[in-house]
Amino acid sequence: MGRRISYREALREGLREALQADPRVFLMGEDVGFYGGTYAVSKGLLEEFGPERIRDTPLSELAFVGAGVGAALGGMRPIVEIMTVNFSLLALDPIVNTAAMLRHMSGGQFSVPLVIRMATGAGRQVAAQHSNSFENWYAHVPGLRVLAPATVTDARGMLTLALADPDPVLIFEHAQLYNSEGELNDTDVVDLCSAQVRRTGTEVSLITYGGCLPKALEAAETLAGQGISVEVIDLRVLRPLDDASIMASVRKCRRAVVVSEGWRSGSMAAEVIARISEQAFFDLDAPLARVCSEEVPIPYPRHLEEAALPQAHKIVAAVQALLGHTP
């Protein structure tokens, strides 16, 4: 049996283990030190490791992400924390034009072993400029590895593997997961290349990641009570996508619903649906479906925010429609 901890605690354990294991590792970002992190992930690490390795930075994502790229090129193993994915847009140049491209542009002479962590997603009433899900934008870029851990085991275990990668890795932590709890199981397989089956089923493949995983599991439980068997796939790695695991589930269930908190247009859900259409079209017994955020800036009022986001009841309705069931 594993021990029960929070997602936040799992991330902190991963950070502590990485800092203890390699003197080249350091954490930098806004409020990561004295304040203990905006989401309290790095709380206590400044006292344990000191200001050389837990570095508070000025309020400039462009500057401190660029410094992280330079440190990685100089032989260090920086972990850069960006407060929210919305603010990462200020650092698109060092992430996309430098970190992702430098191995290619140097003919393999240089690599950028940089890990960037950032909160993503909505559901906390912090309004439009703090609530988006842009991970699919980064998953579009060759040269980046993009992770979306949804369980405490992945939250702790993926960081060590990301630091061992010679190329840049982006880790998206859904803000609504920080307080969630789960069983930390040291026997679970953690890697940076495969999706995971979180619930087995036979009638519909429900494909999702990150903060939508708990909603998908809730929907699957509701549907099980209606006699509908749903398989839940946690993508967990958004680039490179694990096509083999996706297609294996789709070929078994012959129907699929993809759930993503990004906006419907140009979403990760759209990419997964396109790949299923390309690789498993003749295995389908029904059209593909998706549940995404509404095409609006994320509202501030709670009732409107909840209405704009994927929810378990919306996922249930999508599966029922696919099977021709009436609510």
Helix (H) or strand (E) holding 104: helix 102-105
Is the separation of the CB atoms in 133 and 313 below 8 Å? no
Pairwise CA distance, residues 195 & 209, whole Å: 9
* Separation in Å, CA 228 to CA 208, 264, 323, 327: 18, 26, 9, 12
What is the pLDDT, as a whole number, of residue 51?
Answer: 97
pLDDT band of residue 183 (cuts 50, 70, 90) is very high
Measured CA to CA, the distance from residue 25 to residue 18 in angstroms comes to: 7
Q: Is the peptide bond before 240 cis (omega within 30 degrees of 0)?
A: yes
Print the SS3 string covering 47-73: HHHCCCCEEECCCCHHHHHHHHHHHHH
Determine the Cα–Cα distance for residues 273 and 12; give it in Å rounded to an integer.
35
179 pLDDT higher than 90:
yes
CB 23: neighbour CB atoms within 10 A? 10
Which candidate in 30, 81, 130, 135 is catalytic? 130
pLDDT at 186: 75
Q: What is the pLDDT of residue 1?
A: 62
Contact present, 313 and 283 (Cβ < 8 Å): no
Q: With a cut of 70, say whether residue 326 has pLDDT above it.
A: no
Write down all domains in the chain, each with its CATH number in brackets. 3-184 (3.40.50.970), 196-323 (3.40.50.920)
Q: Which residues pair with 232 in a beta bridge?
A: 199, 206
Contact 318, 260 (CB under 8 A): no
Catalytic residue among 9, 30, 61, 261: 61
Per DSSP, the three-state class of 322 is helix
Q: By the 8 A CB rule, do 143 and 100 touch?
A: yes
pLDDT, tens only, 285-301: 999 999 999 999 999 99
Residue 182 confidence (pLDDT) above 70? yes
313 is catalytic: no
- Identify the pLDDT of residue 187: 75
Contact 148, 172 (CB under 8 A): yes
Query: What mean pLDDT value characterizes the chain?
Result: 96
Task: With H, G, I as helix, E, B as strand and everything else as coil, classify residue 185.
Answer: coil
Closest CA to 208 of 153, 125, 112, 133: 133
28 phi/psi in degrees, rounded to 5: -140, 150
**Crossing angle of helices 268-280 and 243-253, rounded to 10°:** 70
Residue type, 204: V
Tell me: pLDDT of 228 over 90. Answer: yes
Confidence of residue 278 (pLDDT cuts 50, 70, 90): very high
Q: What is the mean pLDDT of residues 55-64?
A: 97
Mean pLDDT score, 246-271: 97
Lowest mean per-residue pLDDT among 121-135, 182-196, 256-270, 272-286: 182-196
- Catalytic residue check, 61: yes
Print burial letters for 131-141: b (CB count within 10 Å at least 16), e (below 16).
bbbbbbbbbeb
User: Residues 75-88: what's their mean pLDDT?
Assistant: 97
CA angle 147, 306, 320 (to 5 degrees): 80
pLDDT > 70? residue 257: yes
Q: Alpha-carbon distance 75 to 53, whole Å?
A: 15
Share of the chain above pLDDT 70, in %: 99
pTM: 0.96
